[in-house]
């Protein structure tokens, strides 16, 4: 390894330069967007003049954009968002960067958007952090706090990064909130992607992640156009930085080491293993607490397309990391979700107490560019605390639970309920458009004697139904006598598309009749955590009107209700379409 050449360390980004960058996407054949629709031009947002031929304003807002806008889940004010990036805690704020085009309703021209938060729920928008440049789009990557300045780039303070003139602020991007200075030594590592090459770049920030200066050359380039999404962390036992990234078409995760974040040495490959699909993307390697004590290393690998459920999926492997190699304990694989809108999971770096917390993109490449909302597209999952537990079969499995949403609870609206007889239901009205959290623990009664198995409605099922005035329903059900659950969004009529699968299901521990549900329903999102987060279903949902009734139904057998809470949740985000 050699000392980095600090004489020509890099270029400070300006948004003007970003917006003047050449267009075109390496991720699929994305032609230049043109003007959308034929409605009146929206003149409320300034339109940079230096981006010839490209649309520089969001698609006109429609009713769908408001109807489907979550109140808690992070969404971009305008434009298209996909993978979470650069997730790091700087000592004061959590940073969420993300794949972003502020104008288009489609993927392409990828910049790094940016938001900060002190609780991972209330996010404050920041200016675009890393733009597309002539070297390529700014594809996914990660961020670390280089407290010891191992990269050497923080020793000679740069001239402060130029602030973006207001006239070139992307539309609906609020002014940045003040970030305390002096900043943590925040370093981003990400992929510059052109049609021919994907190489890893580094940029550092002296203002706590608000603006970045890019190192003048790639820090890792193997001449591949299928080599992306670096996730970096510091491995204390070996005293070096570790990068995992996808050799996408080879279905391998490359593992590299570095002492300075700039010079990287190949250590090993993980894979191919498990479900391959077409591309591996967005690997994450993280130490996750195990409820039997200690931790285990978990390798997350996103796959797209080609998931068994269709399109995009994230699989994981539990094992050990010795500083050089990741060794999976078994050749079994887990999936982070039994539905299909949970992709590109990334975990926060530099977390206090080594808490494992991740956020994923709540969508699927099969339909993310065709959703009914168009002025904004893309939503993140809630932050989720990750842990490990042993399942009924003895396998170590991922546990995911939403983090911190108790702080958003407003009114408890559930009616008392201790038992539902077979064939009965209980209705509770829901305030239109307001997010709700449901917590429920039930035990189905024993199977009635003399019933034949199987036929519809006689099988012993507990069903949670969200319904609206148009007769549409979203159902989550427990089939007690096969110990399976389902999530059925097929009776919502706000969006249909051949890849937008209606039904999902998974198997719980066999031969048990009790189950716990925790779910958050927030506009176009449903996050379902079953049996303490050991089974998770994450789904986009598009009712044609708000879901204003909660119905609990017992079918085929009765059910004892051990606990039932339904809370409305307060908004966490300020966004167009969310009441003030």
List residues with catalytic annotation: 83, 281
| Shortest spacing between CB 369 and a second copy, in angstroms | 3
| Shortest spacing between CB 507 and a second copy, in angstroms | 4
| Cβ–Cβ under 8 Å, residues 377 and 368 | yes
| Cβ-count burial 97-125 (b if 16+ within 10 Å, e if not) | bbbbbbbbbbbbbbbbbbbbbeebbbbbb
- State the Cα–Cα distance between residues 60 and 180, nearest whole angstrom: 36
CA dihedral sign, ordered 382, 383, 385, 389: positive
Q: Which is nearer to a second copy, 33 or 254 (CB)?
A: 33
Strand 376-377 with 79-89, pairing: parallel
Coil, strand or helix at 97: strand
Structure letter (DSSP) for residue 374:
-
Q: Which is nearer to a second copy, 234 or 500 (CB)?
A: 500
φ/ψ bin of 348: left (φ > 0), alpha (ψ from -120 to 50), beta (otherwise): beta
CA distances from 292 to 164, 388, 390, 534, 579 (A): 50, 9, 8, 15, 45
Measured torsion, CA atoms of residues 13, 14, 19, 20, in degrees rounded to the nearest 10 = -80
| Shortest spacing between CB 393 and a second copy, in angstroms | 7
Q: Which is nearer to a second copy, 69 or 374 (CB)?
A: 374
Tokens 């966004």: give the residue: 575
Give me the DSSP letters along 503-515.
EEEEE-STT--EE
Q: Which is nearer to a second copy, 166 or 394 (CB)?
A: 394
Spatial CB neighbours of 454, under 8 Å, sequence gap ≥ 6:
none
Determine how many CB atoms are found less than 10 A away from the CB of residue 457.
10
Determine how many CB atoms are found less than 10 A away from the CB of residue 240.
19
Q: Which is nearer to a second copy, 414 or 463 (CB)?
A: 463
Q: Which is nearer to a second copy, 205 or 336 (CB)?
A: 336
Q: Which is nearer to a second copy, 152 or 310 (CB)?
A: 310
| Shortest spacing between CB 276 and a second copy, in angstroms | 6
| Shortest spacing between CB 392 and a second copy, in angstroms | 8
Q: Which is nearer to a second copy, 238 or 505 (CB)?
A: 505
Q: What angle do CA 93, 97, 50 make, to 5 degrees?
A: 125
φ/ψ bin of 386: left (φ > 0), alpha (ψ from -120 to 50), beta (otherwise): beta
| Shortest spacing between CB 469 and a second copy, in angstroms | 22
Query: What's phi and psi for 440, nearest 5 deg?
Result: -145, 135
| Shortest spacing between CB 155 and a second copy, in angstroms | 45
Of 527, 520, 447, 439, residue with least CA distance to 483: 447
CA distances from 255 to 224, 283, 325 (A): 16, 10, 7
| Shortest spacing between CB 526 and a second copy, in angstroms | 15
Taking only Cα atoms into account, the Rg of the chain, rounded to an integer number of angstroms, comes to 24
| Cβ–Cβ under 8 Å, residues 403 and 380 | no
Q: Which is nearer to a second copy, 163 or 544 (CB)?
A: 544
| Cβ-count burial 418-439 (b if 16+ within 10 Å, e if not) | eebebeeebebebeebbbbbbe
CA dihedral sign, ordered 58, 64, 68, 71: positive
Q: Which is nearer to a second copy, 122 or 249 (CB)?
A: 249
| Shortest spacing between CB 394 and a second copy, in angstroms | 9
State both tokens at 516: 């716990």
Of 283, 284, 337, residue with least CA distance to 310: 337
| Shortest spacing between CB 395 and a second copy, in angstroms | 7
Of 105, 114, 102, residue with least CA distance to 56: 102
């Amino acid at each position: 390894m050699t000392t980095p050449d600090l004489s020509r360390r890099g270029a400070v980004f300006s948004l003007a330069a970003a917006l003047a960058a050449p267009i075109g996407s390496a991720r699929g054949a994305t032609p230049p967007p043109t003007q959308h629709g034929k409605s009146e031009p929206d003149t409320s947002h300034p339109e940079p003049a230096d981006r010839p031929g490209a649309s520089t304003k969001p698609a006109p807002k429609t009713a769908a954009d408001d109807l489907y806008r979550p109140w808690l889940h992070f969404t971009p004010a305008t434009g298209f968002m996909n993978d979470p990036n650069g997730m790091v805690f700087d000592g004061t704020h959590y940073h969420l960067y993300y794949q972003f085009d502020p104008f288009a309703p489609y993927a392409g021209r990828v910049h790094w958007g940016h938001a900060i938060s002190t609780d991972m729920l209330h996010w404050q928008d920041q200016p675009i952090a890393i733009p597309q440049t002539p070297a390529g789009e700014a594809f996914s990557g990660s961020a670390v706090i280089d407290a010891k300045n191992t990269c050497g780039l923080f020793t000679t303070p740069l001239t402060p990064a130029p602030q973006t003139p207001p006239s070139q602020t992307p539309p609906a991007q609020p002014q940045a909130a003040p970030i305390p200075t002096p900043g943590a030594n925040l370093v981003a590592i990400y992929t510059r992607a052109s049609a021919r090459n994907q190489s890893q770049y580094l940029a550092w920030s002296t203002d706590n992640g608000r603006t970045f200066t890019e190192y003048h050359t790639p820090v890792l380039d193997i001449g591949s156009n299928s080599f992306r999404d670096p996730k970096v962390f510091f491995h204390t036992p070996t005293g070096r930085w570790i990068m995992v990234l996808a050799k996408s078409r080879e279905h391998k995760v490359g593992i590299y080491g570095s002492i300075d974040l700039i010079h990287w040495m190949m250590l090993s490959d993980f894979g191919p293993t498990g479900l391959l699909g077409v591309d591996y993307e967005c690997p994450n390697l993280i130490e996750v607490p195990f409820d039997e004590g200690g931790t285990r290393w978990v390798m997350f690998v996103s796959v797209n397309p080609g998931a068994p459920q269709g399109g995009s999926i994230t699989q994981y492997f539990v094992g050990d990391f010795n500083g050089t190699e990741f060794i999976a304990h078994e050749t079994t694989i887990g999936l982070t979700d039994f539905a299909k809108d949970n992709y590109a999971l990334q975990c926060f770096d530099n977390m206090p107490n080594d808490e494992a917390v991740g956020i994923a993109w709540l969508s699927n490449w099969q339909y993310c560019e065709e959703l009914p909302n168009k002025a904004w597209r893309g939503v993140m999952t809630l932050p989720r605390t990750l842990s490990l537990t042993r399942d009924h079969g003895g396998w170590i499995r991922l546990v995911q639970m939403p983090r911190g949403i108790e702080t958003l609870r407003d009114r408890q609206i559930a009616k008392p309920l201790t038992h539902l007889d077979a064939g009965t239901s209980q209705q509770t009205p829901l305030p239109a458009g307001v997010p709700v959290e449901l917590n429920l623990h039930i035990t189905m009664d024993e199977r009635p004697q003399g019933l034949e198995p199987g036929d519809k409605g006689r099988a012993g099922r507990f069903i949670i139904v969200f319904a609206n005035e148009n007769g549409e329903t979203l159902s989550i059900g427990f089939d007690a006598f096969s110990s399976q659950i389902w999530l059925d969004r097929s009776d919502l009529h706000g969006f249909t598309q051949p890849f937008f699968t209606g039904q999902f299901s998974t198997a719980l521990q066999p031969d048990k009749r009790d189950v716990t549900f925790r779910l958050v329903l927030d506009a176009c999102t449903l996050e379902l955590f079953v049996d303490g987060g050991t089974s998770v279903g994450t789904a986009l949902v598009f009712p044609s009107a708000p879901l204003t009734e909660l119905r609990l139904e017992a079918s085929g057998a009765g059910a004892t209700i051990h606990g039932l809470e339904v809370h409305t949740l307060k908004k966490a985000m300020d966004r167009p379409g969310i009441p003030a």
